[in-house]
A and B are shown apart, each in its own frame.
Chain A
């Protein structure tokens, strides 16, 4: 029981992180209908920015953890959004209105490009920082097994909940959210009604990148080790999460992320860890066979 609870905490933490990255996929898909394969690498870039920022702070002898975290978050979000904007501008905007597959290939190229840029400029070695948040709360002091939740795990879960709430509010209540949803439904009509479509799409990319940046900072805090290869696996998993939840749906992305985190944790905990990816993808297939547009996705309306 205690063991299951601990694995649940592990799974939730992992799932929250997948969910944060998955929102970036889902928003981009919602608005321009493309799979942004470079999104995982945007997340990787943000982790590197976070590492650099933490190192600068350590060199400047900043010891206050809340201060350090806020600084790193702001820096990372700023630069990562710039990357999100630039990627959209150079690799996707010129392809708008061409075939569906053209931006996909461009995104795969961009992903390879970003990975190698980071490898070249920052080196192939893994980048570690000393643990930022040590310790945690003991939840249940069972004689055989102590269940504890680390401060960093708590931070990840709480941040994710806050961001999700804020985000849902922004999409449903603010003028920007309305514009965003308008562009999702019909880009031509939205532009006729005075919505600046280009700008809305740019902002969407920047927002997705900002969420990836938060995930990047969290990964740096939680694992403390970053390399140029982390974007690939995280990207694939997050993309799976977005599809599982129903691509285009924000709560769906979060739900998908959590589900995948939990499936991975529990499958590895009780069954064969080496087949956990098989389990994830098989469950995805099953879900899609029963609900072809994901758990919370809207069925596509087809016009003939």
Chain B
């Protein structure tokens, strides 16, 4: 529990000790009720157990940790200061360099993601986890349209994800639709839900919008849980057909008169074929999303979104139709979420309302914000981190989610603007290009 406070002058050793002592004291107070004392079940009643040894260790760790952290921060700051004084480049030049670096990293990441299943072709876990990362990347890019570009805070994004997933599940299990037929229909359905949500709340702003979207997400989930005849209720929908490779199924034994993927290419059957196929499928979907959103940003509608984010009143004064701008952002964000939902249902083969809780919305939003709002590469980075931290944490089993929460706080405190907070302005005036502001606070 050490706080990050910006010091104004160099600290003397005595001050450092006092500072660390203060942190240790706070740690002691916080630790007494939760670490020092615990209640245990003794024969049907609760009894109190003390763990003062553990508490002492915690306080000592807080003291030492604070000393080290404080020293580390000061050290880093001095070095940064020295470097800044020594270097002659301007902030704009550095930002430009950073942007180029991000671009290079982007291409490298693309190459790596194409090569990944080839390298790990027999490692189910890696391919599957990478697929999960890509689903979140796609969701992040979708939500980025609403939050990052249009500046509308949406805490119920998971509703559109659910609409997409359930449309595909119902269309395929009830009416026998294929993946490719259901994809556009489900996307359109999710988009219309986006408009449905967007319409009544056009007048709301900021946090009022947030709670209504949160409520909308909950309403969709509660309906899915309770309307058993329609959605299977809490049982969810199982045995959802998997996408096929141009009509070739990924099964061990082909159905009557059909051919399997393995049979067609003369391979031995392997369960990995489908996994790798699914991986490439979501990779293609995600890349299409990326291209789509990047293009949109350069179109009038994309510019309108960013203008709306920066100043709604100015938009209105310029004669822009804010209703349409907002609705289009909701609809397009929802559609992308719907696509991701279709893929999710097809990959899992089973969906139930438990997969569409508020926590899911919070994680998608965290991906967008942690990545640096509006930054496409940032979303990739944040999605990778947020999926991989709990996965690596499996080795620490019970500390897994603790680390996840702590990481969210620490990243935010360390980089309040997000991991890749620098944003290239979409439009640059030629003459004053370097002076274009890179980050306007979205307040």
Contacts and interface: CB of A to CB of B under 8 A. Distances in A.
Q: Do chains A and B stick together as partners? A: yes
Interface of A: 29, 35, 37, 45, 48-49, 51-52, 55-56, 58-59, 79, 82-83, 86, 89-91, 93-95, 98-106, 108-123, 125, 127-130, 236, 239-240, 243, 247, 274-275, 277-278, 280-282, 284-285, 288-289, 292-294, 300, 302, 304
B34 A122 contact: yes
Interface in B362-405: 362, 365-366, 369-370, 373, 398-399, 401-402, 404-405
Interface string B9-47: 000000000000000001001101111011111000111
B34 A48 contact: yes
Given A100-B443, A292-B208, A94 B413 contact: yes
B226 A101 contact: no
Contacts of A82: 26, 29-30
The 10 closest A-B pairs by CB, nearest first: A109-B408, A281-B215, A113-B405, A112-B405, A98-B416, A116-B402, A106-B412, A109-B409, A243-B211, A105-B369
A35 B38 contact: no
From A109, A123, A236, residue with most partner B Cβ within 10 Å? A109
Contacts of B405: 109-116
24 contacts: A37-B362, A51-B46, A56-B48, A59-B48, A79-B30, A90-B3, A90-B409, A94-B413, A95-B416, A105-B366, A105-B369, A108-B362, A109-B412, A114-B405, A117-B34, A121-B35, A121-B38, A243-B208, A275-B226, A285-B216, A288-B201, A292-B208, A304-B313, A304-B317
Contacts of A288: 201, 204, 208, 212
Given A102-B412, A120-B399, A129-B46, A289 B203 contact: yes
B412 A302 contact: no
From B2, B47, B207, B365, residue with most partner A Cβ within 10 Å? B207
Contact of B412 (A59, A95, A117): A95
Given A104-B369, A115-B405, 15 more contacts: A51-B46, A55-B47, A93-B3, A94-B4, A101-B442, A105-B370, A105-B408, A109-B366, A122-B39, A240-B211, A274-B222, A275-B226, A277-B218, A277-B222, A304-B314
Contacts of B334: none
Contacts of B317: 304
B126 interface: no
B148 to A, nearest CB: 10
Nearest to A281: B215
Contacts of A48: 33-34
B408 A112 contact: yes
A277 B370 CA distance: 30
Contact of B4 (A49, A90, A112, A277): A90
Contact of A113 (B41, B204, B402): B402
Contacts of B373: 99, 101
B407 interface: yes
B136 interface: no
B386 to A, nearest CB: 10
Contact of A95 (B48, B147, B206, B413): B413
B206 A112 contact: no
A280 B313 CA distance: 32
A149 B212 CA distance: 34
B1 interface: yes
A121 B402 CA distance: 11
Contact of A90 (B2, B147, B214): B2
Interface residues of B, number: 72
B153 interface: yes
A247 B29 CA distance: 32
Given A89-B3, A109-B412, A52 B366 contact: no
Given A109-B405, A292-B204, A281 B46 contact: no
Contacts of B250: none
B219 interface: yes
A247 B209 CA distance: 12
A99 B443 contact: yes
B122 to A, nearest CB: 34
Interface in B197-241: 200-201, 203-208, 210-212, 214-216, 218-219, 222-223, 225-226
A293 B226 CA distance: 31
A90 B1 contact: yes
B184 interface: no
Given A55-B48, A116-B405, A102 B218 contact: no
Interface string B294-335: 000000000000000001011001000000000000000000
A133 B151 CA distance: 50
B416 A91 contact: no
A109 to B, nearest CB: 3
Nearest to A123: B38
Contact of A294 (B203, B208, B370, B443): B208
From B45, B203, B405, B406, residue with most partner A Cβ within 10 Å? B405
Given A52-B37, A110-B409, A243-B211, A98 B417 contact: yes
Contacts of B204: 288, 292
B111 interface: no
A8 to B, nearest CB: 25
Contacts of A56: 37, 48
From B205, B313, B413, residue with most partner A Cβ within 10 Å? B413
B358 interface: yes
A106 B219 contact: no
A298 B416 CA distance: 30
Nearest to B366: A105
From A51, A112, A130, residue with most partner B Cβ within 10 Å? A112
Contacts of B1: 86, 90
B257 interface: no
B415 to A, nearest CB: 9
B441 interface: yes
A232 B29 CA distance: 24
Contacts of A113: 402, 405-406, 408-409
A278 B219 contact: yes
Contacts of B41: 125
A124 B205 CA distance: 39
